[in-house]
A and B are shown apart, each in its own frame.
Chain A
């Protein structure tokens, strides 16, 4: 039986919807499970049709966008009334997004710049804020959960398609099935010599579907399970099972692999990118967990998944404190050293070393994981779109504190801070709306 879902857009860019649509063919298994009752981006139901529904009629409501206008506030309240479960969909509703940077100014300054001062305006003598059939602006942008109760958060600007689909599947209790017959190991370039798992590195090849490009192990890296489970497992699965039985003792590199594996293979909604409000394990229990959301797994795979879920049960922090650095492919403690803060346009960094150690301001150390380090992979520093790992602290100070202590940085904390000209734009670009000092 399809469940009713509604998508509401507040002041936004459509990017979360585009990201959802980017799943393309991946959407097909999900669509039949959904009865879309409101989604102005795609379907033709009007506002009145949502208003006319009884309260609580819709199971899941996705709310995208920042609360910049009074209409946005009304839309949020309407959704809260009509939906049993509200998801803050994307970093706008989670944290206010870049639009929250406007909180640095009085709203009137923004209005004046746009409607009175812009160089191209030709009716400057009469121009003013439009008011005819216009909703008016909120004085400051605040995150959605300061206006209505939120049940779950999907962060990211935009959230990755995989994260959205797995969040939807998770909420609907839908279970993806195993795919290829053989395991990754059967095609692995290192199967006969140089196996990384045999060297003691956590590699999920023995239980992962074959059929990928083999790029990870070709480069000497372990498999993190992108393709999901295989129908049969490789004999090395027992070695893997032994390693994860004591997951707490794994090295930081192995934990990084485990983190990616949990997201990609086990379809655990990307953890730091997807949060249930309140106690996550209590919420998971409501759906009969903690257990893997996958079904019909080979027994060895089931055992490995159970070990990891057991670890999550005892280490809730693992879900929330991972940073972008934890999933970044670059080396920390590299041969590079930051001796001064470089601007992004200066030089061209190499692809191997930590960007901070190469001199660039990268928000990775203070930013929640979930993206998989997409920016870093094209040589661009993290700008913090998944939100931070700690709140109610001075983020620029915290950044300076962390990197001067644990990264190869030759500057003192004070020197580093002094060289950061736009601290807010760097460290709170996506989250300033959560900062009560700017209300």
Chain B
């Protein structure tokens, strides 16, 4: 008899899942599964709702990224009904999307990922968490909390609530940012940019310390899925972009998503497996999320982030298959977000009350909305009837886009760990904290 290794549940994860690795008698890895054990059927129970109410239901798909789950279905309904929103509304939405991206990326870096690196992979599981990091590194902890707080408060100021926002409406936004509130955020922006730079420094030190791990563990060539606008990194609007394992970039208009994205229903996960359709399943399995976005981008949208991208590429090359580089990629995106926030807060359009068009009429048809959520591409395809009732909904969320790629990586790493004993020779730094 071989051996089954189960991790139940996977912790520090925004969802429900377990890992299952099956080893044969010969010590070879026979199977590696990522079992996602929950799903809630939003695709079904949004049927029969007012289309404009769908964006008030779907944020409950993800409490960490409810903002993309509010904005993306709104965009899909606008697409279905042929609604053009005023420019101030578009800018408010981009600001909102970036506020979320910022707080989510910082939360991910400090609360979900950092304990692994600051305490090292062999630390006591009872201590390997953000609470311990805060206790041991109070200054870094306080900085991290101020960053998340800034992002979440900005989300709440624009969205009404940071978790499950309500201010976007088909046709624009219900309300602009109040000027006095905007001024308050503007006062803090320089400090936030400094905090972000410090965070990048911490991230780079981690990468340097763990370079042996980054360069050798979980380096898995796959396809990548992201979004760009004319080739530039964009998290609010643009084309779907696929990058092949050897670095070829292919763009798809969002309306043609079915040409690019295939959904395979596995038997061992409620989160389905997405892949690049022309390459077939499983060969076309792609990865999404930060590294994918960075691999997709010709350049970043802001100067500091673009410098950070160049530094990244100098080190890992034009296409990175390094799973551990996801964290670095996340920080490049965080830099872009804080720069976008700084620019947009100074833009008079975000306090402009002309943020909702009155020219909105339901019509029959289907619309597609796409944004880049913090964990990967988010796509809503909504079918409306002539009265604007939702007839059908197809949803492709970040979890779908990531699961097959994670499982492929898990198989690769399991072989490295259990067959090649690759961990034994790795150079690991002394933990920052114990």
For B261, what are the chain A residues with a Cβ–Cβ distance below 8 Å? 120
- Report yes or no: A344 in contact with B40, Cβ–Cβ below 8 A: no
- Least CB distance, A29 to chain B, in whole angstroms: 13
Partner-contacting stretch, out of A327-335, A404-412, A421-429: A421-429
- Which of B8, B129, B161 is most buried by chain A, counting CB atoms within 10 A of its CB? B161
Beyond A128-B267, A348-B358, A426-B53, 15 additional contacts (C-beta under 8 Å) are A9-B16, A18-B163, A21-B107, A99-B41, A118-B43, A119-B258, A121-B263, A344-B52, A374-B166, A375-B166, A383-B56, A383-B166, A422-B50, A422-B53, A422-B389
Decide yes or no whether B64 CB sits under 8 A from chain A.
Answer: yes
Q: How many residues of B contact A (CB 8 A)?
A: 91
Contact mask B12-44 → A, CB, 8 Å, 1/0?
Answer: 111110101000000000000101011111111
Chain B 167-185 interface residues, beta-carbon cutoff 8 Å to A: 167, 169-171, 174-175, 180
Chain B 345-400 interface residues, beta-carbon cutoff 8 Å to A: 356, 358, 360, 381, 387-389, 394, 396
For B174, what are the chain A residues with a Cβ–Cβ distance below 8 Å? 348, 378-380
For A110, what are the chain B residues with a Cβ–Cβ distance below 8 Å? 41, 43-45
For the complex, give the distance between the alpha carbons of A92 and B278 in Å: 40
- Least CB distance, B44 to chain A, in whole angstroms: 4
Chain B 268-324 interface residues, beta-carbon cutoff 8 Å to A: 268-270, 272, 274, 277, 281
Contact mask A30-60 → B, CB, 8 Å, 1/0?
Answer: 0100001000111111111000000000000
7 contacts between A and B (CB under 8 A): A13-B62, A25-B149, A47-B8, A68-B39, A130-B266, A157-B164, A425-B48
Decide yes or no whether B7 CB sits under 8 A from chain A.
Answer: yes
For A213, what are the chain B residues with a Cβ–Cβ distance below 8 Å? 180
Contact mask A1-32 → B, CB, 8 Å, 1/0?
Answer: 00000000111111111110110110010010
Decide yes or no whether B142 CB sits under 8 A from chain A.
Answer: yes
- Report yes or no: B167 in contact with A121, Cβ–Cβ below 8 A: no
Q: How many residues of A contact B (CB 8 A)?
A: 84
Contact mask A313-348 → B, CB, 8 Å, 1/0?
Answer: 000000000000000000000000000000111111
- Report yes or no: B16 in contact with A11, Cβ–Cβ below 8 A: yes
- Report yes or no: B131 in contact with A348, Cβ–Cβ below 8 A: no
**CB contact between A102 and one of B33, B45, B50 (< 8 Å): that residue:** B45
Decide yes or no whether A393 CB sits under 8 A from chain B.
Answer: no
Decide yes or no whether A132 CB sits under 8 A from chain B.
Answer: yes
Decide yes or no whether A123 CB sits under 8 A from chain B.
Answer: yes
Contact mask A70-114 → B, CB, 8 Å, 1/0?
Answer: 011000000000000000000000000111011011000111011
With contacts A47-B9, A134-B268 taken as known, whether A97 is within 8 angstroms of B163 at the C-beta atoms is no
- Report yes or no: B129 in contact with A43, Cβ–Cβ below 8 A: yes
For B389, what are the chain A residues with a Cβ–Cβ distance below 8 Å? 421-422
For the complex, give the distance between the alpha carbons of A298 and B26 in Å: 75
With contacts A99-B45, A104-B45, A375-B161 taken as known, whether A346 is within 8 angstroms of B60 at the C-beta atoms is no
Decide yes or no whether A216 CB sits under 8 A from chain B.
Answer: no
For the complex, give the distance between the alpha carbons of A438 and B8 in Å: 33
- Report yes or no: B167 in contact with A44, Cβ–Cβ below 8 A: no
Decide yes or no whether A158 CB sits under 8 A from chain B.
Answer: yes
Contact mask B234-259 → A, CB, 8 Å, 1/0?
Answer: 00000000000000000000000110
- Least CB distance, B145 to chain A, in whole angstroms: 4
Decide yes or no whether B126 CB sits under 8 A from chain A.
Answer: yes
For the complex, give the distance between the alpha carbons of A43 and B145 in Å: 17
For B57, what are the chain A residues with a Cβ–Cβ distance below 8 Å? 98, 101, 425, 429
- Least CB distance, A154 to chain B, in whole angstroms: 14
With contacts A21-B111, A345-B170 taken as known, whether A120 is within 8 angstroms of B63 at the C-beta atoms is no
Decide yes or no whether B120 CB sits under 8 A from chain A.
Answer: no
- Which of A11, A113, A120 is most buried by chain B, counting CB atoms within 10 A of its CB? A120
- Per DSSP, chain A at the interface is loop
- Report yes or no: B13 in contact with A425, Cβ–Cβ below 8 A: no
Decide yes or no whether A239 CB sits under 8 A from chain B.
Answer: no
**CB contact between B126 and one of A31, A44, A98, A422 (< 8 Å): that residue:** A44
Decide yes or no whether B202 CB sits under 8 A from chain A.
Answer: no
For the complex, give the distance between the alpha carbons of A15 and B261 in Å: 29
For B52, what are the chain A residues with a Cβ–Cβ distance below 8 Å? 343-345
For B360, what are the chain A residues with a Cβ–Cβ distance below 8 Å? 345-346
**Which residues does B use to contact A, with CB under 8 Å?**
7-16, 18, 20, 33, 35, 37-45, 48-50, 52-53, 56-57, 59-64, 66, 107, 111, 125-126, 128-131, 134, 142, 145-146, 148-149, 152, 159-164, 166-167, 169-171, 174-175, 180, 257-258, 261-270, 272, 274, 277, 281, 356, 358, 360, 381, 387-389, 394, 396
For the complex, give the distance between the alpha carbons of A374 and B166 in Å: 9
- Least CB distance, A82 to chain B, in whole angstroms: 16
- Report yes or no: A113 in contact with B8, Cβ–Cβ below 8 A: no
With contacts A45-B125, A379-B175 taken as known, whether A98 is within 8 angstroms of B45 at the C-beta atoms is yes
For the complex, give the distance between the alpha carbons of A9 and B44 in Å: 23
Decide yes or no whether A306 CB sits under 8 A from chain B.
Answer: no
Number of A-B residue pairs, CB cutoff 8 Å, is 254
For the complex, give the distance between the alpha carbons of A131 and B37 in Å: 10
Decide yes or no whether A431 CB sits under 8 A from chain B.
Answer: no
For B111, what are the chain A residues with a Cβ–Cβ distance below 8 Å? 21, 42
- Report yes or no: B160 in contact with A22, Cβ–Cβ below 8 A: no
Closest to A114 in B: B43
Decide yes or no whether A351 CB sits under 8 A from chain B.
Answer: yes
For the complex, give the distance between the alpha carbons of A375 and B165 in Å: 8
**CB contact between B11 and one of A19, A46, A126 (< 8 Å): that residue:** A46
For A113, what are the chain B residues with a Cβ–Cβ distance below 8 Å? 41, 43-44
For the complex, give the distance between the alpha carbons of A113 and B57 in Å: 18
For B62, what are the chain A residues with a Cβ–Cβ distance below 8 Å? 13-15
Decide yes or no whether A377 CB sits under 8 A from chain B.
Answer: yes
For the complex, give the distance between the alpha carbons of A15 and B148 in Å: 15
For the complex, give the distance between the alpha carbons of A390 and B232 in Å: 52
Decide yes or no whether A252 CB sits under 8 A from chain B.
Answer: no
For A11, what are the chain B residues with a Cβ–Cβ distance below 8 Å? 16, 38-40
**CB contact between B44 and one of A15, A40, A109, A130 (< 8 Å): that residue:** A109
Decide yes or no whether A69 CB sits under 8 A from chain B.
Answer: yes
Decide yes or no whether A277 CB sits under 8 A from chain B.
Answer: no
For A13, what are the chain B residues with a Cβ–Cβ distance below 8 Å? 59-63, 66
For A105, what are the chain B residues with a Cβ–Cβ distance below 8 Å? 44-45
For the complex, give the distance between the alpha carbons of A99 and B61 in Å: 10
Decide yes or no whether A396 CB sits under 8 A from chain B.
Answer: no
Closest to B111 in A: A42
Decide yes or no whether A127 CB sits under 8 A from chain B.
Answer: yes
- Least CB distance, B121 to chain A, in whole angstroms: 12
- Least CB distance, A36 to chain B, in whole angstroms: 7
For the complex, give the distance between the alpha carbons of A119 and B388 in Å: 20
For the complex, give the distance between the alpha carbons of A380 and B70 in Å: 13
For B49, what are the chain A residues with a Cβ–Cβ distance below 8 Å? 422, 425
Closest to A112 in B: B44
For the complex, give the distance between the alpha carbons of A15 and B35 in Å: 22
For A121, what are the chain B residues with a Cβ–Cβ distance below 8 Å? 263-265, 272
For A44, what are the chain B residues with a Cβ–Cβ distance below 8 Å? 11-12, 125-126, 128-129
For B142, what are the chain A residues with a Cβ–Cβ distance below 8 Å? 25
For the complex, give the distance between the alpha carbons of A130 and B38 in Å: 11
For B15, what are the chain A residues with a Cβ–Cβ distance below 8 Å? 14
For the complex, give the distance between the alpha carbons of A11 and B39 in Å: 7
- Report yes or no: A45 in contact with B152, Cβ–Cβ below 8 A: no
